Amino acid sequence: MRSQRHVALEGVFSTAHRASGTAVRRRFAALGAALAWLVVGHPTWAHNAPPPIEQWGAFLPATQTCLRTISRSAHACFDTVVGLEQRCRDEQALGQPCDTTQKDADISAADGALRATLAGACEEGQLTELSFIGFFDAGADLTKLCVTQAQEAVAAIYAPVRSGASSPAAAQCMAAAASYGRKVMWYALQREVPVMERIATQLIETDEKQASILRVERELAADRTRWVEGLQAACPDFATVYGRSADSFLRTLKQRVDCVLSLTYVHSALNCILQLCGNGIPEGDEACDDGNADDSDGCKSDCTLGP
């Protein structure tokens, strides 16, 4: 049985379909606020209070294009920044100089290109419909996605450096873990994006939305066994260098992927763990975080510095 919301959305799409050209764009703009109310529930919820998954999607066609464009550009930007940070860390781990000024300029250029894509692909009402407050909010979130999340993922990958692991073998292991981890994160993103886009573009019942998200999460969890084997093959001494298991490390990278997704698909079914001592990423008031429970390596298990 169709819900009242489905009937309302079908009416919107039907009306829009009968219009054409400029009339379509004008109709979409006029209906944007009304549809945002239907989808989000209340405009003041916005980004800071992600709407329940049952109230997220389906969106107007123009809004779908906006979401698809900025999400794909943002995810590509994330991967680009991971690559830039990785190259610099590899050079430093091998005792070679890294041109950090050029690296920072390249990262700034990638972020600027992403913001330009946002400005060219979306309108204010479309961003509101997607649960952002507006351009400022969306731009800030995309920067967090592209730059902050990428840098935090790389910080977790090179955590052994902060514990004094600087031998050529350790550097080689971290470089291999970085390359492999980058592939894992990209694979996870590409596997989950179609699920989110389907929810964003089709009228789907809540149970089916939740089931599709759970299904892909289970598939990725099953894939992690294969990833652990691949990571250990790339770096046989992983446990020694990192002081943690390959499975734990890969879970940390998956958390970064979840954060990336939550910044483009703003709804309650996606969660980003902000600060968690032991995830290998120094965050908030943590003095350090090397991802292990060894209190003798300079970073204690409670993320404070110690002998």
Candidates 43, 68, 32; CA nearest to 137 is 43
Each residue's pLDDT, cut to its tens digit, for the chain (307 residues) gives 333 334 344 443 433 333 334 333 333 333 343 333 333 333 333 455 789 999 999 999 999 999 999 999 999 999 999 999 999 999 988 788 999 999 999 999 999 999 999 999 999 999 999 999 999 999 999 999 999 999 999 999 998 877 666 688 889 999 999 999 999 999 999 999 999 999 999 999 999 999 999 999 999 999 999 999 999 999 999 999 999 999 999 999 999 999 999 999 999 998 887 656 776 666 656 777 766 666 766 777 787 877 6
| Burial class, 11, CB count within 10 angstroms (exposed 0-12 / middle 13-18 / buried 19+) | exposed
State the pTM of this model. Answer: 0.79
Domain ranges of the chain: 4-264
